[in-house]
Amino acid sequence: MDEEYAMEDPTPLLDSASEFAYYPGVQNDAAAKDFLDRFPLPVVISALQTKAGVPGLENTLVACLERIFKTKYGASLIPQYMSFVQLGLRADSQLVRCLACKTVACLLENFNDKTISPAQLIIDHDIHPLLLDCLVNGNEQVASASMEAIKISAGFPEGMEVIFPANNGNITHLRTLSARCSSLGRIRIFSLIVKLFSVSVDVASAVYNSNLLSLLEAEVRNSDDTLATLNVLELFYELAEVQHGTEFLSRTALIQLLSSMISNTSMDAILRSRAMMISARLLSKENIFTFIDESCVKTVVSAIDGRLQSASQDLNECECALEALGQIGSSIPGAMLLLCMLPPAARHVINAAFDRQARGNQLAALHSLGNISGESRLESDIMLNSDAEENLRRLIYETASKTSELTPSGLFLSVLQQDSEVRLAAYRMITGLVARPWCLMEICSKQEIVNIVTDPNTETTKIGMEARYNCCKAIQKAFMASGKLGTNPALVGIATKLQESVSRGPYLTGKPREAQPVVMTADRF
């Protein structure tokens, strides 16, 4: 910077910058302008370059500039200081590099001048290669900030052209860059690919067309490092959550890869478990058969089914498999597949839901049975086709017949009499199942079940109270919709009890409470 901006004593700047940076409220345009009128940007930047040795100065000025550039006024000044951004991205100081990355993001997000394209400014000043260098070589904070800046730039047409160059041999092409950087840098590039994929359908299409998803697949296939493989699987887990993820991931070999991992008995159990959960996320979409052939879905479910049948399977993997089946069964196509395939994979869920030998498995299974039965679906989507419904009923009755409870009502009561976590899962399960007339009849046949779900004192936590209330409301709604039950004199008392419980709401008993005096001895020292 010019010598005219150098200062002998940085104390006034340090004090004002500290006040601005750590002000507890939001700093607006007026506050940013007031600060810069007293200390112009060249003064601040010069001090940052020449007085970095002053204790606390670098941290304070970086924090101050970050807040300034987040304002519209501060962002409007960034185009005049692109050379500073370039220097900052090359700086030895990780703090300054991180600030420079965040400044690029602020330019893209907050710059309002319609006559200048912020994305074009980045191209003109060759900023993108510097951001990539920060990504693969910076510390964790720098890498995160550069990743965010690149993600934002992908929202601009000019940014798309730079991020996805037509020439695969371009040194900034992510495939080329991943081949020549460290293992840590490669994982960061994979993370960037996932972030870019989530931006929009257009950007996801560019990621797919650039064949970048195959990099992640290859890493899973070729790595003998469990931790490295797990890192990539976590990225696939994020990809599967993206709204348009299924459409593009279905075009890759990912489903086949996951199925192979689940079936591979020599693979670490934690990797099989993550493969199950990624598969479950992908296959839980209502439109799954639009993008993935039903036979492929069956292959994955069969692989999970096979793991549940394995005598050597550990309890954690079993719990994960039950949870995965439940997530798949949360959609109508998934639930019907689990119930109608031969043998029905849902049998594992139903058996485990009422098995008290492994509490973790029972909890996972009860929640999964709630999903399959429709608790998490819209009211109009709870019921399945006739074959699936018949199989669901048959499997529950068969399970009950093999226990000391003998009937489904006995099974329901047994789980409602367990601890609060199991009860919470049981409420969800009954909320879904009670839409079926056979289940409603079973519930009404046990006065103890009605007593538990209508008693406002059963639960003491907010989530427990709400789950109990939702269960009670679902039973009451099914009861009122059943003309046959409504004409049965023996059930009038149950109908009244359900109605009173629903009208009280989830939290209040409806009974007035008086303040009670509390008498205690005084503390003595």
- pLDDT per position as a tens digit, 426-472: 999 999 999 999 999 999 889 999 999 999 888 989 999 999 999 99
Examine the domain organization and report whether 454 and 495 are in the same domain. yes
The predicted structure's pLDDT at residue 525 = 42
Specify if 392 maps to a domain: no
To the nearest 10°, report the CA torsion of 249, 254, 258, 260: 150
Residue with tokens 């996320």: 281
Rounded Cα distance, 143 and 195, in Å: 13
Range of the domain at 352: 242-373
d(CA 284, CA 286): 6
Q: Does 349 lie in the same domain as 417?
A: no
One-letter amino acid of 44? V
Residue 417 maps to a domain: yes
Question: Does the residue 441 lie in any domain?
Answer: yes
Task: Tell me the C-alpha distance between 86 and 159, whole Å.
Answer: 17
274: amino acid identity, one letter: R
| pLDDT tops 70 at residue 51 | yes
For the cut 90, the answer to whether the pLDDT of residue 214 exceeds it is: yes
Q: Is the peptide bond before 343 cis (omega within 30 degrees of 0)?
A: yes
Q: Name the residue among 118, 193, 103 with its Cα closest to residue 149.
A: 103
Q: What is the mean pLDDT of residues 44-60?
A: 85
- 260 with 357, same domain: the answer is yes
Strand ranges in 337-408 using DSSP code E only, listed in sequence order: none
Rounded (10°) angle between helices 437-444 and 420-433: 130
Q: Are the C-beta atoms of residues 213 and 252 closer than 8 Å to each other?
A: yes
Residue 70 has pLDDT above 60, yes or no: yes
Nearest to 466 by CA among 475, 456, 476: 456
Which residue in 155, 133, 156 sits closest to 145, CA to CA?
A: 133
DSSP-derived letter for residue 253 is T
Measure the N-to-C terminal CA separation of the chain; round to a whole number of Å. 67
Residue in this structure with the two tokens 């409806």, named with its chain if needed? 510
Q: Is residue 234 part of a domain?
A: no
Does 356 share its domain with 427? no
CA 213/CA 64 separation, integer angstroms: 39
Contact in structure between 333 and 343 (CB atoms under 8 Å): no
- Say if residue 330 is in the same domain as residue 369: yes
Q: CB–CB of 362/310 below 8 Å?
A: no
* In the predicted structure, residue 5 carries a pLDDT above the cut 60: no
pLDDT exceeds 80 at position 519: no
For residues 439, 443, 449 and 450, what is the CA-based torsion angle, rounded to 10 degrees?
120
Q: Is residue 280 part of a domain?
A: yes
- pLDDT band for position 396 (50/70/90)? very high
What average pLDDT does this structure show over 385-393?
97
Residues 364, 450 share a domain:
no
- What are the angstrom distances between the C-alpha of 219 and each of 190, 212, 254? 10, 12, 12
Q: Can you list the positions of beta strands (E) in 223-329?
A: none
Radius of gyration of the chain (CA): 30
Q: How many domains would you assign to the chain?
A: 2
Q: What is the pLDDT of residues 501-517, one digit of tens each?
A: 999 888 865 454 444 55
Task: Tell me whether residue 448 is in a domain.
Answer: yes
- Residue 513 has a pLDDT of 45
Mean pLDDT is lowest, of 24-28, 156-160, 304-308, 512-516, for 512-516
422 plus 492 within the same structural domain: yes
Question: 1 falls in which pLDDT band (50, 70, 90)?
Answer: very low
Cα dihedral value 158, 160, 163, 164, nearest 10: -120
> What is the number of H-type helices and E-type strands within the chain?
33, 0
Judgement on whether residues 248 and 353 belong to the same structural domain of the protein: yes
Asked whether residue 253 is assigned to any structural domain, the reply reads yes
How far apart (Å, rounded) are the C-alpha atoms in residues 94 and 91?
Answer: 7
Statement: residue 521 has pLDDT above 90: no
pLDDT band at 171 (very low <50, low <70, confident <90, very high): confident
pLDDT digits (tens, 9 = 90+) for 317-367: 999 999 999 999 999 999 999 999 999 999 999 999 999 888 999 999 999
Flag whether pLDDT at 203 surpasses 90: yes
pLDDT tier, 2 (very low <50, low <70, confident <90, very high otherwise): very low
Domain identity same for 316 and 437: no
In percent, the amount of the chain with pLDDT more than 90 equals 70
The answer to whether 195 and 147 have CB atoms below 8 angstroms apart is yes
For residue 400, give the DSSP letter: H
Please name the residue that has the structure tokens 């929640």: 367
Whether residue 369 is found in the same domain as residue 478: no
- Which pair of structure tokens corresponds to residue 55? 């204790």
Query: Is-contact 405 411, C-beta < 8 A?
Result: yes
What's the CATH number where 260 sits? 1.25.10.10
- Kindly state the tokens that stand for 302: 């069969």
SS3 content of the chain, % helix, strand, coil (to 5): 70, 0, 30
Please state the rounded mean pLDDT for residues 279-302: 91
Angstrom distance (rounded) from CA 201 to CA 357? 46
Q: Are residues 277 and 344 in the same domain?
A: yes
Q: What is the mean pLDDT of residues 237-251?
A: 90
Residue 38 lies in a domain: no
Percentage of the chain surpassing pLDDT 70?
93
- pLDDT band at residue 482 using 50, 70 and 90 as cut-offs: confident
Determine the pLDDT at residue 224: 80
Of the candidates 114, 187, 125, the one whose C-alpha atom is nearest the C-alpha of residue 103 is 125
Q: 347 and 280 in one domain?
A: yes
Exposed e or buried b for every residue in 189-210, given b needs 16+ CB within 10 A?
bbbbbbbbbbbeeebbebbbeb
Within 13 Å of residue 75, how many CA atoms lie on the same side as its CB?
A: 19
User: Containing H/E element for 401?
Assistant: helix 386-401
Q: Retrieve residue 97's tokens.
A: 């590099």
